[in-house]
Amino acid sequence: MYLPGEVTLSLSNVKRNCEHNRRSVAASLVQAVYVLERDRQLNRQSVEALAPPWWEFFHFELIRKLVDDADMSTFGAIFEFNPPSSQDASAANAPRFVIAFRGTITEKDTISRDLSLDLHLLQNGLHRTSRFTIAMQAVQNIASVFPGSTIWLAGHSLGAGMGILAGRNMVKKGVLLESFLFNPPFVAAPIERIRDERVKHGFRIARSVITAGLTIAMKGKTGGNSDNSQRSVAEESFSILSSWTPYLYVNPGDHICSEYIGYFKHRKNMEDLGAGFIEKLATQNSIGDLFFKALGWESEPLHLLPSADLIVNVSPSPDFKYAHGISQWWQPELNLQCSKYRY
């Protein structure tokens, strides 16, 4: 959740029906939001501003900045595609709007607010923050004013968490938004970092059994055995969300997001072992979420997703900073492993 370096933009001609180019466009527009905020902090205006090339290169226009009401920082932006008249037929595959969210910037103007939001995310409470309220209103407004238009959500790190939450909420309203989520946070112990496969698998099975057991216990405590409550709110929500398939871009060297790899892989392994019922309960709940609910807190774990296209960058990462950075995702020569998971 850091500010990537303001690198030189050097992307080749883009046709948006290519997966690499779609990823590059989405990542570059997220980078544009990072640079917009740095332009504000450093008072770079007019010709000195560094952000505009990040969207102008792809023929987008900035139509609105999303500003946090607590620290007045730019945390997101809405871009509209405005291709030149000479653009070829591939422009038909481009989104009309892209709503992008940045992650945490560890500069004095933003670090306090951003870290407080990171804490809300860890507590499954991002939906209760004013920043998310502003973001959600922006997404809803675009979707309602321009029904039927192709709208992308894009975000990195904390911004990916915002994107997941916004996307989930729109699904419940019957609107599926194509979503490009880079290094999305997974709020759980980073078991994926364990190198011994047997130990890793053992930890995952233990966590699934404990989570399923706690879920059953809490159902019993709240009278969950009655016919009218056989399917919990979590189960209903999970079923509704299954039609939404976001693109999740993760790096094994980034402990903030790498657990998504094991989350989906373990689900399939448990089904193969004949323990699908246990894993079904574990997939829909987390120990942390159950703990918060036991305390009476409203909790919405963002990382519990029924379906996704998981794209893993297995190219060597020199350090955590690179593994968690946004800049890796517009590189042309990545070694990517792509898996489709459907609930």
pLDDT single digits (tens) 161-170: 999 999 999 9
- Among residues 321, 342, 339, the alpha carbon closest in space to that of 157 is found at 321
1-31 pLDDT per residue, tens: 333 334 433 333 444 448 889 999 999 999 9
pTM here? 0.82
Can you tell me the distance from the alpha carbon of 178 to that of 196, in angstroms, rounded to the nearest whole number? Answer: 36
Can you tell me the distance from the alpha carbon of 245 to that of 178, in angstroms, rounded to the nearest whole number? Answer: 8
259-291 pLDDT per residue, tens: 999 888 867 665 665 555 555 555 666 555 555
